[in-house]
Amino acid sequence: VITHAPLVPAWEKRFQTDARAKIIHHGTHLEGNDLNLEEVEDILEPVPTLSTKNSQPSTDSRPIGRERDIQEVINYRAVMDYLDTLVPSRGTVPERNSRVQLEKGSSADEGTVPTGTHIPLTPSILAEVHRLTVEHILPQDEAGQYRSVKVIIRNTQSHEITFRPPGPFEVPGLIEELFKWLASPEGQEVHPLLRAGILHYELVRIHPFTDGNGRTARAMALLLLFLEGYEVKKFFALEEYYDAHPEEYYSALQSVTISHELTTWLEYFTLGISIEFNRVKSLVHKLSLDLHLKSTIGGRQITLSQRQIKLVEYIERHGEIGMGNVRELLSDVSDDTILRDLRDLVTKNLLIKKGSTKGTKYYLKK
């Protein structure tokens, strides 16, 4: 439905941009970032200068407060950009047995992995995801490196200890076992959605780094979904599902410690995927003006200009549009161009025109 929807090509970039902003906002907000979605979108729009590739701030200059919130957003965008380099080109699906493999001898300090069509999921990728997540936030010798200290997890409200992750000396072995299982025949037999959920939980449980474990775990689970073919044009944001009711997210994770089995967590995880995919499906249906539009336009895919997309968006929000509204919306465009765009949308059976002269209104075709 999503792949073949008539309006998807015109809206694809917008959907992906919105989904990425939601992933970054909700993924950081879930960990206590105070920036709202609009502020995050403002940060993502320009090329930020707070963090640059060649800058190497000292540990004494690590950002705090709002500056840290901004840095977290910049960092998580870098993580999403990195995941993009690891996912095969759109329209291709990696062979099942080459999607998730373990590189022999890989460890958390090996750095990045060369990109290509078939990217193995390895501790090296885990390390790079974490390094990007905490760059300029943690000291350089902690970014992408397994922790060397014991940590405890406390309830943010009651401050009670809710979980004690494994000791630091256990971390390398546990990570190695996890990635070996992912690559094993036994692991490959597990459905990809469940495998992504297990990866997510295990990284949270092992807590391999001093900070940034939640964002790293969610990014790795997302990467596994992408590599397993659950890309769905990158229109979805599981982080929004988690952040809508964070207490349910953390409760589902903690349920494994209480019950000593993964069922409750995996039910929660797969429900979130189902909810997000159905949301995207509904959105695409709506913007395709329901299924009957496809037969109305002869099943062809429609290409719209950026101006036309703005017009359709306006009508989606307000129900109609007149020339006065259009002039405000497209203030730098001549009336002749506006009328040409509107006539084209009518010709494409997307809009209907009612009235004449100054009273003309345009509506989405039902």
User: Would you please indicate which residues are annotated as catalytic (active-site) residues?
Assistant: 207
Other C-beta atoms within 10 Å of 205: how many? 18
DSSP state of 348: T
216 is annotated as contributing to ligand binding:
yes
215 is annotated as contributing to ligand binding:
yes
C-alpha span between 302 and 296 (Å, rounded): 12
C-alpha span between 217 and 238 (Å, rounded): 12
Rounded to 5°, angle at Cα 262 from 202 and 164: 50
> Do 264 and 256 touch, CB atoms closer than 8 A?
yes
- What is the rounded end-to-end Cα distance, in angstroms, of the chain? 19
214 is annotated as contributing to ligand binding:
yes
Helix (H, G, I), strand (E, B) or coil at 163: strand
- The residues with which 322 forms a beta bridge, in sequence order, are 361
C-alpha span between 267 and 264 (Å, rounded): 5
C-alpha span between 170 and 86 (Å, rounded): 28
218 is annotated as contributing to ligand binding:
yes
217 is annotated as contributing to ligand binding:
yes
C-alpha span between 159 and 116 (Å, rounded): 45
187 is annotated as contributing to ligand binding:
no
Residues written for the chain: 366
C-alpha span between 344 and 297 (Å, rounded): 13
Alpha-helical (H) ranges within the chain are 8-29, 37-44, 65-86, 96-99, 123-134, 171-183, 185-188, 192-206, 213-227, 238-244, 246-259, 263-287, 292-296, 306-318, 323-329, 335-347
97 is annotated as contributing to ligand binding:
no
Q: Tokens in use for 285? A: 């249906």
C-alpha span between 191 and 232 (Å, rounded): 17
- With b for 16 or more beta-carbon neighbours within 10 A and e for fewer, the 145-171 pattern comes to bbbeeebebeeeeeeeeebebeebeeb
